[in-house]
Amino acid sequence: MLQRTMLLLLITLMASLPTQAQEIAVLKYKGGGDWYSNPTALPNLIRFCNKTIRTEINSKPQTVEAGSTGLFQYPFIHMTGHGNVFFSNEEALNIRTYLLAGGFLHIDDNYGMEPYLRKELKKVFPDKEMEELGPDHPIFSQKFQFPDGLPKIHEHDGKRPQAFGIFNEDRLILLFTYESDLGDGWEDPEVHNDPEEVRQKALQMGANIIQYAFKN
């Protein structure tokens, strides 16, 4: 009963936020993983989105902690890192409530976080499993077309890139991008020396994710 009441209150809070406010945030989590990695990634993605899909996102992404009610100020949360991830039960409940209330979480594996993340997501949604998104999912056909699905940006283990999702009543509420490393492709060119065409693919896919999240 308490959880239902909390959910209704937070849905009301999110609905009351100004519609013109477009801000996104990086999720700060515990466990020792470098949640702060790729510092130039989101600012570059924001500039690209504001130019190509006509968003009006604040140029400086914010930081929000997993257990904070501040989570509900943002329609889109980005999470990344290389290593361990840990959510307390209270943080898991906060994230679950945020997502069920209409929020969207994009998790981009910067390499090495996948096994830890899967374990912690079971705390967030013990009754849900991540499902692989096929290339026909609408997230791959927003402003930019990706007929083959998620693009490969960095090699890492040489596996194919995969996009996984968690759904609530047919709405994609959580996207996990694996063996792609979009965030590295969003960074300043000199950070990873990626070819411009690779960076463009990463930015275009990122814009699709933002556009999809804002529309749904």
**Residue-level pLDDT at 16:** 42
Q: Tell me which residues of the chain have a pLDDT lower than 50.
A: 1-9, 11-20
Residue with tokens 């945020």: 98
CA–CA gap between residue 186 and residue 48 (Å, rounded): 9
| CA atoms of 124 and 105, how far apart (whole Å) | 12
**Looking at domain 23-215, which of 3.40.50.12780, 3.30.450.20, 3.40.50.12140, 1.20.1280.260 is its CATH number?**
3.40.50.12140
Query: For 180-205, what is each residue's pLDDT tens digit?
Result: 999 999 999 888 778 999 999 999 99
Name the token pair of 135. Answer: 């290339």
pLDDT of residue 18: 39
Asked whether the CA dihedral 203, 207, 213, 216 is positive or negative, the reply is negative
pLDDT at 191: 80
Are residues 43 and 51 in contact, defined by beta-carbon separation less than 8 angstroms? no
pLDDT of residue 21: 54
- The alpha carbon dihedral of 158, 196, 210, 39 has a sign of positive
Backbone φ, ψ for residue 76 (5° rounding)? -140, 125
How many CA atoms lie less than 13 Å away from 56 in the CB half-sphere?
A: 4
Per-domain boundaries in the chain: 23-215
> For residue range 101-110, what is the model confidence (pLDDT) as tens digits?
999 999 999 8
pTM of the predicted model as reported, rounded to 2 decimal places: 0.90
